[in-house]
Amino acid sequence: MTKQNNLFLATLDALHKSGVFEDIILIGSWCHYFYRIYFNNAPEIPAVRTMDIDFLIPNPAKIHKDINIPEILRTLDFTPTHSYITGYTKYEHPELELEFLTPELGRGKNKPYELPKLHINAQGLRYLNLLQSNVLKIKYKHMMIQLPEPAAYVLHKFIIFERRKEKSKKERDLLAAKDIGEFLLQNKTQRKKLLEIFHSLPLKWQKTIITNIKTHSEVLFDFLSKK
């Protein structure tokens, strides 16, 4: 894990120095690394157990300057892997795999979203606008990092976990959402955010969350369904 952590932080540092951090949001399980810091190393926040680094590019993208992300990643020994079927490119290293995602809006499309100013493309996925709309900024060393609000992170996991094809990842996501969600209920401010974000969602999304929470977290189910 030490090699992974070092590479993860080196990747963040390189992207920070490029100036791209104001345009992207760290999502996925590596958020746990910073949530633990934000909540004073709370043991209830699960440790990171994944090789995947996921960055969210907001849609519509508001890229401020030209930044050659593939070249930055190349200096860290990430290798681009291109799928000729989907047209999507991700970046692989023996320790980590990095992907760029973006909210798929409207009718969507069957090809990646091109981001010429960053020299990359991003995979469009549903429900990511929930994370895009609820951002937490954390100061870490010399960097300002954008993450989803923990409450938004939890609700998003309960919406999408059934879409996970890999069983181990599905179970890991579900457990993380349960643990973090139940931890947030202990904090008055986080309880309020959980409710506010939940009630800001379309009713169909709310119903999906309630259905998925019902059989996995009694306390979260009671909290969200009775308000």
Predicted pLDDT at 109: 79
Predicted pLDDT at 123: 95
Give the span between the Cα atoms of 207 and 155, in whole angstroms: 11
Please give the average per-residue pLDDT across 193-214, as a whole number. 96
Kindly tell me if the per-residue pLDDT of 131 is higher than 60. yes
* Percent of the chain residues past pLDDT 70, beyond the cut: 98
Predicted pLDDT at 89: 97
Predicted pLDDT at 113: 94
pLDDT band of residue 227 (cuts 50, 70, 90) is: low
Per-residue pLDDT tens for 143-189? Answer: 999 999 999 999 999 999 877 667 777 888 889 999 999 999 999 99
Give the span between the Cα atoms of 49 and 11, in whole angstroms: 18
CB 125 within 8 A of CB 104: yes
Structure tokens at 151: 């409450």
Map out the domains of the chain as residue ranges.
Answer: 1-148, 150-227
Mean pLDDT, the chain, rounded, equals 93
Give the span between the Cα atoms of 83 and 76, in whole angstroms: 21
DSSP state of 135: E
Structure tokens at 185: 């209920």
Predicted pLDDT at 1: 58
**Residue 102 identity:** T
Kindly tell me if the per-residue pLDDT of 111 is higher than 60. yes
CATH 3.10.350 correct for 1-148: no
Please give the average per-residue pLDDT across 46-56, as a whole number. 90
Beta bridge partners of 82: 89
